[in-house]
Structure 1
Amino acid sequence: MDAPVQRPSLGVLNLHMGEKNFRLSRYAPSEEVGAFIKHYWIVSWDLTHQAPYLQDVVPNPCVNLVVEPNKTFIYGAAKSKFSYFLQGKGLVFGVKFKPGGFYPFIKRPVSALTGNPLDVKSVFGVEAAALEQAILSLDEDTAMAHVMDELIRGKLPEPDPNIPLINEIIDGIQEDRDILKVDDVSERFHMNKRKLQRLFDQYVGLSPKWVIKLYRLQNAAEAVDTGPEPDWAKFSADLGYYDQSHFIKDFKAIVGATPEAYARRGQMTGV
């Protein structure tokens, strides 16, 4: 648990520009906890005497436990970007559960968490204020990760065979850009479409269709961040859209700007 996790953008928009304003670190959990947890993440910043910074993040299909002063909650997967306003000096500690990894802790559909964050005490038996003190009072990232790892270790549920299955499916969606619709997932993993949808509702909190859309649009945003502005008509067709207008609508709904506006913003910030 001492080594930082390698850092792909994982939906952090304009990461290159963002890293000029904050530090993002990710740490792997212990092996036992790692059956349920993807990683611990820490965002810290010191913008004292500097302008505030607004960071946008495209969601992943994961539940997060977020520890920050007076705002500590467990959040379900979202369907649109999340924006965080950084000002002054601060730090936020987070736990990113594996897709499906939070369900065994509560044994009820994770879809109910969307828009309805959970109090940490109801799941881990610790008051939010006490957890904030235990984590945020520490100076070392690894010490924070260790304290959280020990807390979760004491509350681990029984292993659930559906978690590796769900992660295999979601990894397939993320890595194979030819997966553009739910039928593609059903065929690849030899699973009935209805069963797939029920599994995602219960364990992930988002439908397979939404997960595909999130990753394809995240791919689109990353393409703009890392290269020249593409041919949008061809790009939208490659993502499985029948017409460019639907692609623009979905991109704006999730990223918060049209593809062209997002590309212009990246150019202006030097990304």
Structure 2
Amino acid sequence: MDYQTFQPHPDLESLIKCYWTLNSPREDVPQSQTIVPDGCMEMIFHHGDLYKQYIDGEAIVQPRNCVFGQLTQPLQIEPTGVTGIFSVRFHHNGFIPFATIPINNMDDKAIPLEELFGTAGTELGQKVFLSKTTIEKIELVENFLRERLNPETIDRIVQSTVDILLHYNGQISVNELSKQSNINRRQLERRFSSTIGLSPKQLSKTIRLQSVLKHLLNNEYTSLTALAYDAEYYDQAHFIKDFKEFTGLTPKEFYGDNLQISYLLYRKNS
């Protein structure tokens, strides 16, 4: 697999985390891959063969061009041929200025661009598909997003609260988060739901698990007990429960071929 990342233009870097590409030849025996929730929405363009995704045990083919909402559970995907993907990874609340439907209606769904943006979405997908280089794809997408940017939808309180969560690696209670943000818990939960698609508790758990995954994939801990302790889980059982909720596996089952994409996404230099 050839995985590369690219940085956005400075005027969009507060909304877009990065662009990434993934290219891979056809597999003789296609391997299912697990995508672990990371709290970020993605705009995905397939210029290779499409991927299958499994929802409640049923396989469906992803749209060629789509925005994937927040994942609230691990997602199983499988290539159908040659992989060629160009994707925009937004910050946790980065897609809201471009949204045309409620964010919390997009959870665990791949919404076709034409459903979100009409004929303009269809045309963007065609242009990105025909473009020859990643730089051209980035320019096309950035111009498209600039034209649709609605800064009035950016919630500064949510943005600063996400910064707090990231600072603590998700290791902070929602009540303490509410205090530090100077907003009551119910209001905070409503704002998170409408701008991120997750509750503060869900995003906190996701961010903490992402930190754990990076440590695991970079072999920075030899003891799962020590890792659970440093991540401030109540006990080993709590750690394993949360880990399985987000990955579908126990920590000991985590390594293997079905996590190649996770390794690419979460290694140190990604």
TM-score interval, normalised by the smaller of the two chains: 0.7 to 0.9
Q: Deviations over 1:228-262 (max 9, x none)?
A: 65433443344333332232122112112111122
1:247 to 239, 261, 265: 239
Q: Deviations over 1:180-229 (max 9, x none)?
A: 32123223333322221111001000111111111111222222211265
Corresponding residue for residue 208 of structure 1? 200
Once the two structures are overlaid, the 10-residue window that deviates more, 172-181 or 134-143, is 172-181
Separation in 2, partners of 1:106, 1:112 = 11
Q: Taking structure 1 as reference, are residues 107 and 141 closer, same or farther at Cα in structure 2, changes over 3 Å only?
A: closer
Partner SS for 2:83 = strand
Corresponding residue for residue 148 of structure 2? 155
Partner SS for 1:254 = helix
Calculate percent identity across the aligned residue pairs: 24
Asked if 1:56 corresponds to 2:34, the answer is: yes
Corresponding residue for residue 125 of structure 2? 132
Match of 1:113, as an amino acid? M
1:41 to 14, 20, 44: 20
Q: Taking structure 1 as reference, are residues 150 and 177 closer, same or farther at Cα in structure 2, changes over 3 Å only?
A: closer
Separation in 1, partners of 2:83, 2:246 = 27
Asked if 1:27 corresponds to 2:6, the answer is: yes
Give the TM-score, by structure 1 length.
0.76
Q: Taking structure 1 as reference, are residues 87 and 108 closer, same or farther at Cα in structure 2, changes over 3 Å only?
A: closer
Separation in 1, partners of 2:23, 2:166 = 28
1:166 to 158, 165, 187: 158
Separation in 2, partners of 1:38, 1:73 = 17
| Structure 1 residues not aligned, in runs of 5+ | 1-21
Q: Taking structure 1 as reference, are residues 87 and 178 closer, same or farther at Cα in structure 2, changes over 3 Å only?
A: closer
Separation in 1, partners of 2:244, 2:71 = 15
Separation in 2, partners of 1:40, 1:182 = 31
> How large is the RMSD of aligned CA atoms in angstroms?
3.0
Separation in 2, partners of 1:154, 1:60 = 27
Asked if 1:256 corresponds to 2:257, the answer is: no
2:78 to 71, 80, 85: 85
- 8 Å contact from structure 2 (residues 45, 66) kept in 1: yes
Q: Deviations over 1:141-184 (max 9, x none)?
A: 1111111112222222234451x543332233223237232123
Asked if 1:71 corresponds to 2:64, the answer is: yes
- 8 Å contact from structure 2 (residues 97, 154) kept in 1: no
- 8 Å contact from structure 1 (residues 104, 157) kept in 2: yes
Superposed displacement of residue 59, structure 1? 1.9
Match of 1:24, as an amino acid? Y
| Structure 2 residues not aligned, in runs of 5+ | 51-62
Separation in 2, partners of 1:249, 1:214 = 13
Superposed displacement of residue 84, structure 1? 3.5
Separation in 1, partners of 2:230, 2:5 = 32
Corresponding residue for residue 106 of structure 1? 99
Match of 1:40, as an amino acid? Y
Once the two structures are overlaid, the 10-residue window that deviates more, 75-84 or 224-233, is 224-233
Separation in 1, partners of 2:137, 2:111 = 21
Separation in 2, partners of 1:136, 1:71 = 9
